């Protein structure tokens, strides 16, 4: 098989080793002339490559056929300079599955191999070591296993080596130190063990090193801290120990992202870091660091995220927090997490001057005393305040009520006194309010009834008195728990309690309530736990002894006989502080405890949901297996036996049918999972987990989940959602002609509202869930529209909990190796081994926004010539040619009329005035420019340049307001 020229060929290559690539290829050119079969070898290798592909959902490989020259196959680039030999193999994000052929080693002239985000498995073939010109190798987000291909050590021209998110094992090879051109290396989210070789430190051109999420042990070699070109270095989530070098800020002067959270680091935080003035992200949470933070930390004025949560920092003494004063210089700071340390002292008044972008302020579980400075009310973007578990005193400032974006407020387990400020009722976005275990007195402010998004209201163990205001007990948004136990509340329980239809846990015990328990409590159909005293109702949910837990409420009486409570006699009260004692012992990081609870409930998800479904089917009173079968029957019936007529869509993991429930006749969407599809089961569980824990106006609401067997005895899993009569945004933006779909186009204001809805849903997922959730698949077909065209984000099959952000859980087992998204919407950094991140969702959102207002798909190759994507297409038109790229139907006259109609209510009749309308059109253009700028910013390549979603929402609202003004001026 050896070619006669093989020897001279390798000799030539040896001679040329070290020469620049272009120079090599040019000289090689003449050598190639002697090997006429070179292109045939390439062809053969590619044919073999194709033969190993077993999954190809987009039919990419169909273009790889004999009727087309192989240089024109999808993903293949040949170069004249290499005599028509293949130089690029670029098959990213195509969901190709199979093994990688060893024939790849015959594609001698390859400079680029990009297999990012597919499903290749097996070992990466050693033959890759024959690709001596290789500069770019990216096989991140696949399922390659085994150890790293050692022959890769021959590819000395490699600049980029991305192997993130695979199933690789073994150690990081020492020979990596010989690949001296390497600039970017990602080994993130694999199973690497052993030490980080000190040879990595030989890579003097390295800019980015990602070791995140492995099982590495030992210390970080000091040689790595001497690579002055590094700007991105993360080794979060390993088992590393040791200290940060004292001079690290001088040896890494260019560092922007420096993270080593979730390890066993000890020692102090080096003061030299103050010299690394480009730092944006500094995250060493969950280690064992001691000492204090440098007083003038704020000289790092570019910081956006500062996290030293859960270490042993601070002395517990008075001036521990004096460094906070300097942080007023960090005008871009968004996240400040210093919780679970030993910081003493008081909160300085200077926090009033913190960055207006700050959305997370967490100093929980420290030893902070004094009060909360009223100036905190200036921080208008704050979404989370975590001050629980400190020794804070005095009353809570009214100014908190000014924080219009606040969603989570933790003030529990402190020594606050005085009344609960009624201004908290102004927090229209708040979802969780924790005030328990303080000394609050007076009555519960009725204004809290205005917090229409509240899911948790925790007031136990205070000194509250008076009755529970009807506005509060009737707050129908309450869904997780409402706990007022261990107070001095009195009066009767208002009948409005019946409005708590979504509430899972209601705790009223240890108060002075009197009178009867209203029978309307039976309407709380979601109730899983109820703690109170007195007589148990016998109707509604209380009819069925198995559907409710009353365990531990020894003072209850009455109820249906199956509950085995004694009949009611005269009630006696005997206070017990047991709960308080237990609670304060485990109070440490209450937030983390809650996450644990959430996790637990997640893992138990299927059971309660199915159980709830059962309750809705009055006929199902027999054993479990039968119940599931009945559910299957019910679903079969309601979808007309899964008839084609009822099929309203099919997604990555199954089909969606429309159905009518026999019970109340409500119309639902039933998503039946295709369990043959790899990952579908996992996706089902993921989706249940996510849906279980979240509720938001702009998220698709789940009605129930069904997991069981079908009539043939096969596994069957389905999710039942509320039905969205207006279909998906996809149907509206890109109607398919032959199918019955929308003939009407969406107007400007409708599109803007949809954009705002989706952004709100994302903001909720990212910032206001107990654990941040990344959706991972934002695209038009996952945005569903109800009767009023309000958008609901659906399909949580790919969503990921971001534990790393908020807790100490190992992500290793949780972040699934099947991370995916949809072509055109996947952020580029996922390819470099980047983990799922909220900024990844922002990228997809940016693309979506551009799509909404240009009407063009990101995958529309005809529209964007020369490999340009929608982002560049828009960026090039900004700002002067923006009307050329907006969806033509938005600039047309007729559209204006329609929109005017929409504003009729608000602005009365519209008289046409062409002159004013002309100027209105100029203003419209400004709106378009702003929108495209937001979309372009969100879809910027470097994640750090993407606009935070909270800012997006503010800007979109501003555009909406100025649009309304335009309409006013047109009257």
Residues designated catalytic: 777
End-to-end CA distance of the chain: 84
Instruction: Verify binding: residue 69, ligand NAG, rule CB under 6 A.
Output: yes
Choice between 13 and 352, CB closer to ligand NAG: 13
DSSP string, 822-873: -TTTS-GGGGGTPPP-HHHHHHHHHHHHHHHHH---TT-TTTSGGG--HHHH
Instruction: Verify binding: residue 407, ligand NAG, rule CB under 6 A.
Output: no
Give the β-pairing of 305-307 and 335-337: parallel
Least CB distance to ligand NAG at residue 925 (A): 51
Instruction: Verify binding: residue 39, ligand NAG, rule CB under 6 A.
Output: yes
User: How far is the C-alpha of 131 from the C-alpha of 24, rounded, in Å?
Assistant: 13
Choice between 50 and 359, CB closer to ligand NAG: 50
User: How far is the C-alpha of 350 from the C-alpha of 312, rounded, in Å?
Assistant: 24
Least CB distance to ligand NAG at residue 78 (A): 9
Instruction: Verify binding: residue 731, ligand NAG, rule CB under 6 A.
Output: no
User: How far is the C-alpha of 604 from the C-alpha of 148, rounded, in Å?
Assistant: 38
User: How far is the C-alpha of 791 from the C-alpha of 757, rounded, in Å?
Assistant: 6
614 is in an annotated binding site: no
Stretch that binds ligand NAG, among 97-105, 304-312, 479-487, 744-752 (CB under 6 A): 97-105
Stretch that binds ligand NAG, among 39-47, 153-161, 278-286, 826-834 (CB under 6 A): 39-47
DSSP 922: H
Q: Do you know the residue count of the chain?
A: 971
Instruction: Verify binding: residue 584, ligand NAG, rule CB under 6 A.
Output: no
Instruction: Verify binding: residue 112, ligand NAG, rule CB under 6 A.
Output: no
DSSP string, 779-821: SGGGEEE-TT--EEE---TT-EE-HHHHS----TTTS-TT---
Choice between 4 and 713, CB closer to ligand NAG: 4
What mask of x and - would describe binding to ligand NAG in positions 123 to 152, judged by CB under 6 A? Answer: ----x---------------x-x-------
Stretch that binds ligand NAG, among 98-106, 446-454, 510-518, 773-781 (CB under 6 A): 98-106
Instruction: Verify binding: residue 686, ligand NAG, rule CB under 6 A.
Output: no
Choice between 86 and 209, CB closer to ligand NAG: 86
Instruction: Verify binding: residue 753, ligand NAG, rule CB under 6 A.
Output: no
Instruction: Verify binding: residue 811, ligand NAG, rule CB under 6 A.
Output: no
Choice between 103 and 139, CB closer to ligand NAG: 103
| Residue 757, SS3 per DSSP | helix
Choice between 75 and 858, CB closer to ligand NAG: 75
Instruction: Verify binding: residue 44, ligand NAG, rule CB under 6 A.
Output: yes
Considering only 112, 135, 169, 331, the residue that binds ligand NAG (CB under 6 A) is 169
Least CB distance to ligand NAG at residue 79 (A): 13
DSSP string, 69-111: -GGGSTTEEEEGGGTTEEEEEE-TTS--EEEPPGGGGG-TT--
Secondary structure element (H or E) that encloses residue 667, with its range: strand 667-673
Stretch that binds ligand NAG, among 36-44, 729-737, 789-797, 821-829 (CB under 6 A): 36-44
Instruction: Verify binding: residue 55, ligand NAG, rule CB under 6 A.
Output: no
CB 401 within 8 A of CB 426: yes
Residue 746: other Cβ atoms inside 10 A:
23
Instruction: Verify binding: residue 51, ligand NAG, rule CB under 6 A.
Output: no
User: How far is the C-alpha of 521 from the C-alpha of 537, rounded, in Å?
Assistant: 8
Q: Which residues of 247-263 are buried (b: 16+ CB within 10 A; e: fewer)?
A: bbbebbeebbbbbbbbb
Instruction: Verify binding: residue 416, ligand NAG, rule CB under 6 A.
Output: no
Write out the E strands in 158-214: 160-162, 167-168, 184-186, 193-195, 208-210
Query: How many residues form the binding site for ligand NAG (CB under 6 A)?
Result: 17
Stretch that binds ligand NAG, among 34-42, 383-391, 668-676, 920-928 (CB under 6 A): 34-42
Stretch that binds ligand NAG, among 103-111, 575-583, 630-638, 920-928 (CB under 6 A): 103-111
Least CB distance to ligand NAG at residue 69 (A): 5
Considering only 167, 171, 254, 810, the residue that binds ligand NAG (CB under 6 A) is 167
Considering only 49, 103, 460, 723, the residue that binds ligand NAG (CB under 6 A) is 103
Please state the φ and ψ torsions of residue 794, each to the nearest 5 degrees.
-125, -170
Residues 6 or more apart whose Cβ sits within 8 Å of residue 713: none
Residues tagged in the binding site annotation for ATP: 671
Task: Using CB under 6 A, list all residues that contact ligand NAG.
Answer: 1, 39-41, 43-44, 69, 102-103, 105-106, 127, 143, 145, 167, 169, 817
């Amino acid at each position: 098989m050896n070619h006669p020229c093989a020897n001279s060929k390798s000799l030539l290559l040896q001679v040329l080793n070290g020469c620049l690539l272009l120079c090599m290829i040019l000289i090689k050119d003449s050598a190639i002339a002697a090997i006429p079969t070179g292109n045939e070898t390439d062809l053969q290798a590619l044919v073999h490559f194709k033969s190993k592909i077993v999954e190809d959902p987009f039919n990419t490989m169909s273009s790889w056929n004999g009727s087309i020259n192989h240089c024109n196959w999808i993903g293949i680039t040949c170069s004249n300079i290499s005599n028509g030999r293949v130089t690029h193999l670029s098959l990213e994000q195509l969901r190709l599955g199979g093994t990688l052929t060893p024939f790849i080693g015959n594609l001698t002239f390859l400079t680029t191999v990009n297999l990012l985000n597919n499903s290749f498995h097996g070992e990466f073939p050693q033959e890759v070591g024959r690709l001596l010109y290789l500069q770019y190798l990216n096989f991140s987000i696949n399922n390659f296993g085994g150890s790293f291909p050692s022959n890769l050590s021959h590819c000395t021209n490699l600049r980029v080596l991305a192997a993130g998110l695979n199933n690789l094992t073994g150690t990081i090879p020492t020979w990596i130190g010989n690949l001296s051109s390497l600039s970017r290396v990602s080994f993130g989210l694999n199973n690497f063990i052993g030490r980080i070789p000190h040879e990595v430190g030989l890579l003097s051109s390295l800019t980015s090193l990602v070791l995140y999420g492995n099982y590495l042990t030992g210390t970080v070699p000091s040689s790595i801290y001497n690579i002055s070109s590094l700007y991105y270095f993360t080794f979060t989530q390993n088992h590393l120990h040791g200290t940060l070098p004292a001079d690290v800020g001088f040896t890494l002067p260019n560092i922007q992202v420096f993270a080593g959270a979730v390890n066993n680091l000890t020692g102090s935080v080096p003061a030299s870091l103050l010299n690394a003035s480009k730092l944006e992200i500094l995250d060493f949470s969950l280690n064992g660091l001691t000492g204090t933070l440098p007083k003038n930390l704020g000289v790092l004025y570019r910081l956006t995220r500062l996290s030293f949560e859960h270490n042993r920092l601070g002395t517990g003494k008075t001036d521990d927090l004096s460094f906070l004063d300097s942080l007023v210089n960090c005008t871009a700071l968004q996240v400040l997490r210093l919780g679970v340390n030993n910081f003493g002292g008081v909160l300085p008044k200077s926090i009033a001057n913190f960055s207006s972008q700050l959305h997370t302020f967490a100093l929980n579980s420290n030893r902070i005393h004094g009060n909360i400075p009223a100036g905190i009310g200036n921080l208008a973007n704050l979404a989370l305040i975590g001050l629980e578990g400190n020794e804070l005193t005095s009353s809570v400032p009214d100014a908190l009520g000014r924080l219009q974006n606040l969603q989570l407020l933790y003030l529990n387990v402190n020594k606050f006194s005085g009344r609960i400020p009624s201004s908290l009722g102004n927090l229209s976005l708040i979802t969780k309010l924790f005030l328990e275990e303080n000394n609050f007195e007076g009555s519960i402010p009725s204004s809290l009834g205005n917090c229409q998004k509240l899911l948790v209201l925790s007031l136990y163990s205070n000194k509250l008195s008076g009755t529970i205001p009807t506005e509060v007990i009737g707050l129908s948004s309450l869904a997780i728990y409402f706990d007022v136990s261990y107070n001095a509340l009195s009066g009767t329980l208002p009948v409005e309690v019946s409005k708590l239809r979504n509430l899972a846990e209601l705790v009223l015990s240890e108060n002075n309530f009197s009178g009867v328990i209203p029978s309307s409590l039976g309407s709380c159909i979601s109730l899983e736990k109820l703690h109170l005293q007195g007589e148990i109702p016998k109707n509604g949910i209380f009819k069925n002894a198995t559907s409710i837990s009353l365990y531990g409420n020894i003072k209850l009486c009455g109820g249906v006989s199956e509950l085995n409570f004694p009949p009611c006699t005269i009630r006696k009260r005997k206070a017990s502080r047991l709960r308080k004692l237990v609670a304060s012992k485990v109070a440490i990081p209450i937030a983390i405890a809650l996450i644990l609870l959430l996790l637990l409930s997640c893992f138990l998800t299927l059971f309660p949901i199915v159980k709830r479904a059962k309750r809705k089917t009055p006929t199902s009173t027999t054993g479990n297996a039968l119940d599931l079968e009945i559910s299957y029957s019910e679903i079969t019936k309601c979808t007309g036996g899964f008839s084609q007529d009822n099929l309203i869509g099919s997604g990555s993991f199954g089909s969606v049918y429309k159905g009518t429930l026999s019970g109340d006749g409500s119309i639902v969407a039933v998503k039946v999972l295709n369990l043959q599809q790899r990952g579908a089961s996992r996706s089902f569980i993921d989706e249940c987990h996510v849906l279980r824990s979240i509720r938001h106006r702009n998220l698709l609401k789940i009605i129930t989940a069904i997991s069981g067997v079908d009539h043939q005895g096969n596994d069957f899993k389905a999710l039942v959602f509320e039905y969205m009569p207006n279909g998906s945004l996809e149907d509206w933006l890109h109607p398919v002609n032959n199918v019955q779909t929308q003939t009407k186009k969406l107007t400007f204001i409708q599109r803007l509202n949809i954009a705002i809805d989706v952004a709100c849903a994302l903001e909720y997922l990212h910032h206001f869930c107990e654990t941040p959730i990344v959706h991972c698949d934002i695209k038009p077909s996952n945005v569903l529209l109800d009767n009023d065209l309000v958008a609901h984000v659906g399909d949580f099959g790919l969503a990921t909990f971001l534990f790393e952000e908020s807790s100490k859980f190992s992500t290793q087992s949780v972040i699934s190796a099947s991370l995916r998204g949809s072509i055109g919407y996947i952020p580029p950094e996922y390819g470099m081994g980047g983990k799922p991140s909220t900024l990844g969702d922002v990228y997809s959102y940016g693309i979506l926004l551009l799509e909404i207002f240009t009407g063009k798909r990101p995958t529309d190759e005809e529209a964007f010539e020369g490999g340009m994507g929608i982002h560049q297409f828009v960026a090039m038109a900004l700002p002067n040619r923006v009307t050329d790229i907006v969806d033509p139907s938005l600039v047309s006259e007729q559209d204006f009329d329609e929109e005017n109609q929409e504003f009729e209510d608000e602005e009365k009749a519209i008289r046409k005035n062409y002159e004013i309308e002309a100027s209105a059109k100029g203003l419209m253009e400004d709106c378009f420019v702003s929108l495209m700028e937001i979309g372009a910013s969100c879809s910027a390549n470097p994640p750090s340049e993407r606009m935070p979603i909270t800012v997006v929402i503010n800007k979109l609202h501003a555009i909406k307001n100025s649009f309304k003004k335009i309409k006013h001026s047109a009257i």
